[in-house]
Chains A and B, each alone.
Chain A
């Protein structure tokens, strides 16, 4: 089911709309209101052809305040964050950043986080990196490590206790 099918009877969620506008302002981004639906963003969207993301509709729904419909949809997680929509928008609106806001809102509302984002978050909070050091294989199939390649150990936060406390505090905050 597409996002539009869910919205025919929906009512605007004004508080979410206000919060999103406030977030865009904080990040020095143009208001969604500036969009005049030319569709240039969608014409160049990297996630449009294969995954049917339509950035101009995301902005239209944002203007209409229909947030729960969007934050419940997997569509918002198909953005590849290539930034072509923002780069090419004649009004300097940034659908890509509206999508980041919608994904953040979805997580905040306790919706399922797809893929391995949860694992990356856990890892970042405990070792400071979104994943731990990986082994690799060369073209002949032999296992190689950072150490065997002569690379120094990767950097890590020095004061792990205070790092973790600070980052866990941030994890429950909004922009």
Chain B
């Protein structure tokens, strides 16, 4: 996530501190390893445990805005708490970098951090620009809702955290049949055409059902629905014009933060339509 999709990071850094969350940049982090799980899952376990150990050395819990990273870290914690042999192997690997893994750090994703730690009342208190009844399609990202056996922050079949935030901001989110459909992103490395077909199909469904836009909380889903919306439309033969924003960008707008500070000039989808409905000058 630190190498692209900067609108998410910009809006997170603007919004969370104003809601009382102190963000600490951690030196020495690496990739979580989830993208390499298909090549060798041992790499994923090693890299995730490594990042957890770095946080634990500073006595901090971990805010993981990317669902894929969140799954990788959650899974590493679960595997290493169940299997002593793997735990021992990983500990030896980490000792080469003077790191010690305990597996006690708690993990938070953006949406549960907002609903459960910051709280809906605190969000309401800071929101000055209401969504004026806008109906936004929510898209969570597969890895933040499944597999529930690993304790995912949102319900696997009926995730509702973002719906609660939208309602607090004076908007709403109607249910739609394609809500749990994948963005296609994981197919980008080896089936790029099929990947954008899935993107286009879901956006087409959202557009046809009359939503004012789509709100999400995953950088890879945004890469598909926002950055690749035009391509997705071409592949499925639709003129797509769906504003796609991060939940933190939308929350920032509702809190009266200037759009460029939230990275909204980086969104490729027509987000101006959405800002106009909120009465935000851009």
Binding site for B on A (CB under 8 A): 26-28, 46-47, 50-51, 77-84, 86-87, 92, 94, 100-101, 103-104, 107-108, 113-117, 120-121, 124, 128-134, 136, 138-140, 144, 146, 149-152, 154-159, 162-163, 165-167, 169-171, 173-175
Please tell me if the beta carbons of B38 and A103 are within 8 angstroms of each other in the complex.
yes
Contacts of A108 in B (CB 8 A): 40
Given contacts A139-B268, A157-B29, A170-B40, could you give 13 more A-B pairs where the C-beta distance is less than 8 Å? Answer: A27-B41, A79-B186, A84-B142, A94-B147, A101-B41, A107-B40, A136-B4, A156-B30, A157-B97, A158-B27, A162-B97, A166-B93, A173-B42
Per-residue interface assignment for chain B, residues 177 to 207, with 1 indicating a CB less than 8 Å from any chain A CB and 0 otherwise: 0001110111101110010011000000000
Check: B85 CB closer than 8 A to any chain A CB.
yes
Contacts of A120 in B (CB 8 A): 35-36, 39, 189
Contacts of B45 in A (CB 8 A): 175
Q: Identify B33's interface contact among A87, A124, A132, A151, CB under 8 A.
A: A124
Nearest-neighbor residue (CB-CB) of B75 within chain A: A27
Q: Which residues of B from 76 to 102 have beta carbons under 8 Å from A?
A: 78-79, 82-83, 85-86, 89, 93-94, 96-98
Please tell me if the beta carbons of A151 and B9 are within 8 angstroms of each other in the complex.
yes
Contacts of A136 in B (CB 8 A): 4, 6, 266
The 4 closest A-B pairs by CB, nearest first: A115-B190, A115-B189, A154-B2, A128-B30
Contacts of A28 in B (CB 8 A): 78-79, 82-83
Cα distance, A32 to B45, chains bound together (Å): 22
Q: Identify A155's interface contact among B13, B29, B149, B184, CB under 8 A.
A: B29
Cα distance, A18 to B267, chains bound together (Å): 49
Cα distance, A128 to B43, chains bound together (Å): 11
Check: B17 CB closer than 8 A to any chain A CB.
no
Check: B46 CB closer than 8 A to any chain A CB.
yes
Please tell me if the beta carbons of A104 and B40 are within 8 angstroms of each other in the complex.
yes
Contacts of A169 in B (CB 8 A): 93
Binding site for A on B (CB under 8 A): 2-4, 6, 9-10, 13, 25-31, 33, 35-43, 45-47, 78-79, 82-83, 85-86, 89, 93-94, 96-98, 142-143, 146-149, 156, 180-182, 184-187, 189-191, 194, 197-198, 263, 265-268
Contacts of A27 in B (CB 8 A): 41, 79, 83
Q: A80-B184, A83-B142, A133-B2 are in contact. Are A155 and B40 (CB under 8 A)?
A: no
Please tell me if the beta carbons of A165 and B96 are within 8 angstroms of each other in the complex.
yes
Q: Identify A116's interface contact among B9, B82, B189, CB under 8 A.
A: B189
Cα distance, A113 to B39, chains bound together (Å): 8
Please tell me if the beta carbons of A163 and B97 are within 8 angstroms of each other in the complex.
yes
Nearest-neighbor residue (CB-CB) of A159 within chain B: B97
Please tell me if the beta carbons of B6 and A149 are within 8 angstroms of each other in the complex.
yes
Cα distance, A86 to B33, chains bound together (Å): 21
Closest Cβ of chain B to A52, distance in Å, is 11
Cα distance, A144 to B184, chains bound together (Å): 26
Q: Identify A86's interface contact among B82, B93, B146, B187, CB under 8 A.
A: B146
Please tell me if the beta carbons of A175 and B41 are within 8 angstroms of each other in the complex.
yes
Please tell me if the beta carbons of B93 and A130 are within 8 angstroms of each other in the complex.
no
